[in-house]
Amino acid sequence: MGSILWIPVVLSLATAYLYFLSMSAPSLKEQDSNVLKFPSSLEDLTKVAKLLNKYKSENFLFVFILFCSAYLYKQTFAIPGSVFMNLLGGAIFGRFYGFILACFLSATGATCCFMLSKFFAKHYVLKYFPEKVNLIRKKIEENNDGLMPYNFICVETGTTLSSLTSLDDLLSAKTLLSMGTAAIVALVPGYLIKRRQQKRELSKMS
């Protein structure tokens, strides 16, 4: 079993990589580099999405690699704020590709997080935080079929937000209807799956 001290080492290396990647953006103006950060609010999200949408026309590969790296960084080290990355994915890459990326990167990042904790922290976590582990396991079981609908709603919302020019647009009937429809489309399959699982469990018990 690896030492838990490897986790800060891996975190430092990943942070350095992400920093140098963002600083090595080709032909990025100095004032724009200050905007390039993890979004933590809708205002930040709008600024980053606007910058990357303008930038990706000539540097698509760099934007793609930067987004994937940032998303995996957040997921691997369990840093809060993945909802903003899903929104950003929809705003940059659109509904279809943003959704595929969100699902793939969230699954890959979660796998990396699991492997990191398994090889370097499992013993310590189970020893000192058994109640937290049981709570997380319970949450995972409860949300076994909920990740894709959640990702879809976030990406769809990001796609909608990227086309807004004012707060009035956000409150318009067209926008609200679009976001409401997306929520229904995303949530119905998960609801039906859970209902089917509940019926199976009841049939096994009877």
User: Measuring CA to CA, which residue among 166, 167, 165, 148 is closest to residue 156?
Assistant: 148
Distance CA 201, CA 87 (A): 36
User: Measuring CA to CA, which residue among 152, 162, 156, 13 is closest to residue 76?
Assistant: 13
pLDDT for 101 equals 92
Backbone angles phi, psi at 26, to 5 degrees: -65, 130
What does the pLDDT look like over 38-75, one tens digit per residue?
887 777 878 888 888 888 888 899 999 999 999 999 98
Where does residue 79 fall: left (phi above 0), alpha (psi -120 to 50 degrees), or beta otherwise? Answer: beta
Which amino acid would we find at residue 81?
Answer: G
User: Measuring CA to CA, which residue among 85, 3, 100 is closest to residue 38?
Assistant: 85
What does the pLDDT look like over 66-121, one tens digit per residue?
999 999 999 888 888 788 888 888 889 988 898 899 989 988 988 888 888 777 76
User: Helix or strand or coil: residue 81?
Assistant: coil
**pTM > 0.75:** no
CA angle 144, 146, 150 (to 5 degrees): 150
**Considering only 33-47, 49-63, 129-143, 150-164, which range has the smallest mean pLDDT?**
129-143
pLDDT for 174 equals 56
